[in-house]
Amino acid sequence: MLTMALAAMVLQTDMRNVRARGLRPLLLGVGASIFIAGLSLTLVLLFV
């Protein structure tokens, strides 16, 4: 169900609005995802 919900969000995304916002929010999202993934991996490696 989570996959279907994410797909629905992507299918309703208007790329003109994304493009109008610019590159900065996209880079912020990618950076946040990389940070969270790295932090999670570090904590798993430290405590397992």
DSSP string computed for 1-43: -HHHHHHHHHHT--HHHHHHH-SHHHHHHHHHHHHHHHHHHHH
Inter-CA distances, 10 with 7, 22, 40, 46, 47, Å: 5, 18, 25, 35, 35
pLDDT for res 46? 97
Does residue 5 belong to any structural domain of this protein?
no
pLDDT for res 44? 97
Does residue 46 belong to any structural domain of this protein?
yes
Q: What's the maximum distance between 2 C-alpha atoms anywhere in the chain?
A: 45
Q: Which residues constitute the domain of residue 40?
A: 24-48
pLDDT band at 15 (very low <50, low <70, confident <90, very high): confident
Does residue 8 belong to any structural domain of this protein?
no
pLDDT for res 9? 87
Q: What is the mean pLDDT of residues 3-11?
A: 88
Q: What is the mean pLDDT of residues 22-38?
A: 94
pLDDT band at 10 (very low <50, low <70, confident <90, very high): confident
Single pTM value for the model: 0.65
Contact present, 33 and 41 (Cβ < 8 Å): no
